[in-house]
């Protein structure tokens, strides 16, 4: 079941454009002809079960390795042609924690700011702002090792936003977090996308992280099986909830959830 | 990407490495204890048994502890190179390598910066060791401490580049100890660090050739000659050449279009 994107996005310029990307691990097809766009100011949820190809897709977008086929453009710049320069407008929170545990929050963020070429003063100002927005300013001098999982995630999000990215990639950033922390992060990211006009690609397998107005991509076994606004995808499957729609789309049994 | 961006990124990478090193005091201790055991115990025992004849760069008879000091400095740098490699494998496993590799700067620049940061750490270890050795009575020419600095930078780069190359081939942290032993000990023992090559030739011609083709030998000789304010051009050429080859292979291995990283940076999702 393949749903087409609504036409209301045709006049907008995508901040991320993925076209006809395929990828193999040996003979295993990890991504099969994947195409989609992410627009500024919108959260695009990438929903898929484990092994769907979400992390592979993120690795290709971030150029941890190159896509052998297809084209990836970040803010109009081709990743394969522009190389490292295409990564400039990108902020990333990987699924796996990437903070240096033996450094403090401030040291971690200063290191990242230096990699992004920010001046020390500017970096410190942005750092304070980003941490303040995530209620983490008081923990700035603490070593990351002493923080709990939720706080570490907040620091990673603050770090990803430090250089003012146009595109934010979040690879299951709330995994392993308690519900209140998860909800706070979901709310913050949605508000941020709207206020700062950031395009967000959010990989998840948790339905309650997706808002009805979010753009939705459903990825299953390396293929996009549905796309559109989340509420539209739900409506078109005839399911009552996003969870029900998802089960239908990936071939699961969700009869009890299908609207009469 | 402006010149200042490169400069700030370089500073950031070096600053992080030094910070990590300063936080791991036991690392400095371990780096010193190893060569000091060789210098104080091994050299003292062999001082009487082994006489070193007058060979370049020496112009007079020297004691055995003076002879093995350049070899021990190279050993410190080799261990630091491997330590740096271990740190890269650890960063990759822990995920923090991704932060570096997704920086909008050329990958070769990021790797060379990381390499140089490791060299600075190795220099800190080397000069601390030299201070302790001097306190133990091992005296080298005074100006040699300064003149040898460029040689030590180059040898540090060579060992760091070798470590970086190894890190690109090691899939898991658990495999690292085996690789380290496989590299460090043969390189150290089959070299001119502990005995001059002519002495080796008397014992075994095969071993002599093994030592001759070992880059570690030439790193030791480059340092040895530099301390006596002499240039060993052959050693310089070999060390510089090996550095370039190891570095080029490392950059190639970490290139996103190559296969090595793909198997390790991200498991199939």
Q: Which of B8, B19, B98 sits opposite A94 (nearest CB)?
A: B98
Residue B55 to residue B41: CA distance in whole angstroms: 24
> Is A65 within 8 Å of B265 when comparing Cβ atoms?
yes
Q: Which residues pair with A72 in a beta bridge?
A: A18
The answer to whether A37 and A46 are in contact (CB under 8 A) is: no
As a whole number of angstroms, the longest Cα–Cα distance in chain B is: 66
Compute the residue count for chain B: 269
pLDDT along chain B (269 residues), means of 10: 90 92 81 85 71 69 86 94 85 81 90 93 94 90 94 96 87 74 87 85 88 94 94 96 94 69 42
pLDDT of residue A7: 42
- Low-confidence residues in chain A, pLDDT < 50: 1-10, 254-260
Portion 95-114 of B in contact with A at CB < 8 A: 95-96, 98-107
**What domain range includes position B24?**
3-265
Structure tokens at A259: 């609207």
Token pair in block for residue A12:
């907008």
Cβ-defined contact of B94 to A51 (cutoff 8 Å): no
Nearest to B19 among A57, A107, A119 (CB): A107
User: Considering its fold, how many domains does chain B have in total?
Assistant: 1
Whether residue A93 contacts residue A38, with contact meaning beta carbons closer than 8 Å, is answered with no
Residue contacts between A and B (CB atoms, under 8 Å): 118
- Cβ atoms < 10 Å from Cβ of A96: 15
Task: Find, among A164, A65, A60, the residue nearest to A116 by Cα.
Answer: A164
Closest residue to B107, CB basis, from A56, A84, A99: A84
Q: How far is B87 from chain A (nearest CA, A)?
A: 12
**Could you say which of B9, B19, B107 has the minimum Cβ distance to residue A115?**
B9
Q: Do A97 and B102 touch (CB under 8 A)?
A: no
- Report chain A residues whose CB lies below 8 A from the CB of B20: 100, 102-103
pLDDT of the residue at B258: 60
Helix (H) or strand (E) holding A22: strand A16-25
Contact at CB, A86 and B104, closer than 8 angstroms? yes
Yes or no, beta carbons of B269 and A96 under 8 Å apart: no
Residue A202's H or E segment, with its range, is strand A199-204
Rg (CA), chain A: 18
pLDDT in tens, A53-84: 888 999 999 988 888 889 999 999 988 888 88
CB B116 within 8 A of CB B263: no
Contact list, A59 vs chain B (CB under 8 Å): 265-266
In this prediction, residue A111 carries a pLDDT of 94
Helix residue spans in B170-232 (DSSP H): 176-189, 197-203, 205-212, 215-227
Q: How do A71-74 and A77-78 pair as beta strands?
A: antiparallel
Judged by a CB distance cut-off of 8 A, whether residue A202 touches chain B is: no
Q: Which of the residues B104, B257, B262 would you substitute to probe the A interface, choosing the one with the greatest number of A C-beta atoms within 10 Å?
A: B104
Nearest alpha carbon to residue B95 among A97, A62, A52: A97
Is B16 within 8 Å of A107 when comparing Cβ atoms? Answer: yes
Distance (Å, rounded) from C-alpha B18 to C-alpha B20?
A: 5
- Set of chain B residues whose Cβ sits within 8 Å of the Cβ of A118: 8
What is the value of pTM for the model shown?
0.82
DSSP class of A77: E
Which residue is associated with the tokens 């052998």? A68
Q: Is B26 on the interface with A (CB under 8 A)?
A: no
A44: part of which helix (H) or strand (E)?
Answer: strand A43-47
CA distance B21 to chain A (A): 11
CATH number for the region A8-89+166-257 comes to 3.40.50.300
Inter-chain residue contact B1 with A63, CB threshold 8 Å? no
Q: Which residue from B99, B105, B106 is facing A98, i.e. has the nearest CB?
A: B99
Which residue of chain A comes nearest to B261, CA vs CA?
A65
Distances (CA, A) of B152 to B83, B125, B207: 17, 11, 26
pLDDT in tens, B175-204: 777 777 788 888 999 998 888 888 788 888
* In chain A, domain spans: 8-89+166-257, 100-164
End-to-end CA distance of chain B: 32
CA–CA gap between residue B89 and residue B69 (Å, rounded): 30
Residue B198 is predicted with a pLDDT of 82
Selected for mutation to probe chain B from A31, A65, A94, A153 (highest B CB count within 10 Å) is: A65
| Residues A200, A209 contacting (CB under 8 angstroms) | no
Which of B256, B260, B265 is the best mutation test for A, with the most CBs of A within 10 A? B256
Q: What angle do helix axes B64-94 and B25-37 make, rounded to 10 degrees?
A: 150
ipTM: 0.81
A87 touches chain B (CB under 8 A): yes
The chain A residue lying nearest B95, using CA atoms, is A98
Chain B residue whose CA is closest to A156: B99
Please give the pLDDT value at position B129: 93
**CA pair distance A196, A214, nearest whole angstrom:** 16
Shortest alpha-carbon distance between residue A77 and chain B (Å): 13
CB B104 within 8 A of CB B10: no
- pLDDT 10s digits, A150-170: 899 899 999 999 999 999 999
Residue B190 CA: distances (Å) to CA of A61, B199, B214: 46, 12, 7
Instruction: State the pLDDT at residue A223.
Output: 92
Q: How many CB atoms lie within 10 A of CB B85?
A: 28
- Nearest in space to B256 (alpha carbons), one of B77, B28, B97, B67: B97
CB contact under 8 A, A53 and B269: yes
């Amino acid at each position: 079941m393949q749903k087409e994107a609504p036409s209301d996005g045709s006049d907008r310029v995508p901040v991320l454009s993925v076209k006809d990307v395929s990828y193999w691990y040996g003979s295993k097809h990890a991504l099969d002809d994947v195409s989609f766009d992410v627009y500024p100011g919108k959260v695009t949820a990438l929903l898929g079960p484990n092994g769907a190809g979400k992390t592979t897709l993120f690795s290709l977008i971030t150029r941890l390795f190159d896509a052998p086929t297809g084209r990836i453009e970040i803010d109009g710049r081709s990743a394969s042609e522009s190389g490292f320069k295409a990564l400039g407008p990108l902020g990333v929170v990987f699924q796996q924690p990437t903070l240096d545990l033996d450094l403090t929050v401030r040291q971690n963020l200063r290191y990242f700011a230096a990699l992004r070429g920010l001046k020390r003063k500017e970096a410190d100002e942005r750092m304070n702002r980003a941490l303040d927005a995530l209620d983490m300013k008081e923990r700035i001098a603490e070593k990351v090792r002493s923080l709990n999982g939720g706080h570490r995630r907040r620091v990673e999000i603050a770090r990803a936003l430090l250089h003012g990215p146009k595109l934010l990639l979040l690879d299951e950033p709330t995994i392993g977090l308690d519900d209140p922390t998860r909800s706070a992060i979901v709310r913050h990211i949605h508000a941020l996308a709207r206020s700062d006009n950031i395009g967000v690609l959010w990989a998840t397998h948790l339905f309650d992280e997706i808002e009805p107005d979010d753009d939705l991509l459903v990825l299953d076994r390396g293929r996009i099986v549905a796309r559109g606004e989340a509420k539209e995808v739900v409506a078109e499957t005839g399911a009552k909830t996003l969870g029900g729609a998802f089960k239908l789309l990936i071939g699961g049994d969700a009869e009890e959830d299908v609207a009469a | 990407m402006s010149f200042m961006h490169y400069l700030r990124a370089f500073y950031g990478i070096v600053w992080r490495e030094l910070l990590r090193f300063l936080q791991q005091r036991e690392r400095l201790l371990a780096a010193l204890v190893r060569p000091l055991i060789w210098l104080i115990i091994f050299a003292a025992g062999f001082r009487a048994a082994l006489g070193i004849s007058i060979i370049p760069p020496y112009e007079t008879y020297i004691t055995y502890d003076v002879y093995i000091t350049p070899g021990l400095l190279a050993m410190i740098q080799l261990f630091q190179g491997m330590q740096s490699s271990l740190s890269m494998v650890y960063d990759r496993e822990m995920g923090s390598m991704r932060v570096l590799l997704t920086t909008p700067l050329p990958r070769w620049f990021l790797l060379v910066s990381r390499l140089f940061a490791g060299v600075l750490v190795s220099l800190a270890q080397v000069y601390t060791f030299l201070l302790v050795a001097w306190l133990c009575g091992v005296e080298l020419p005074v100006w040699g401490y300064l003149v040898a600095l460029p040689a030590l930078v180059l040898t540090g780069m060579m060992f760091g580049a070798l470590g970086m190359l190894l890190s690109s081939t090691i899939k898991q942290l658990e495999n690292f100890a085996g690789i380290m032993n496989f590299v460090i000990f043969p390189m150290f023992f089959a070299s001119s660090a502990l005995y001059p090559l002519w002495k080796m030739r008397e014992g075994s011609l095969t071993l002599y050739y093994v030592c001759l083709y070992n880059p570690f030998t030439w790193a030791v000789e480059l340092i040895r000659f530099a301390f006596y304010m002499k240039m060993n051009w052959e050693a310089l050429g070999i060390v510089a050449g090996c550095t370039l080859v190891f570095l080029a292979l490392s950059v190639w291995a970490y290139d996103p279009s190559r296969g090595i990283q793909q198997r390790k940076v991200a498991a199939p999702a």
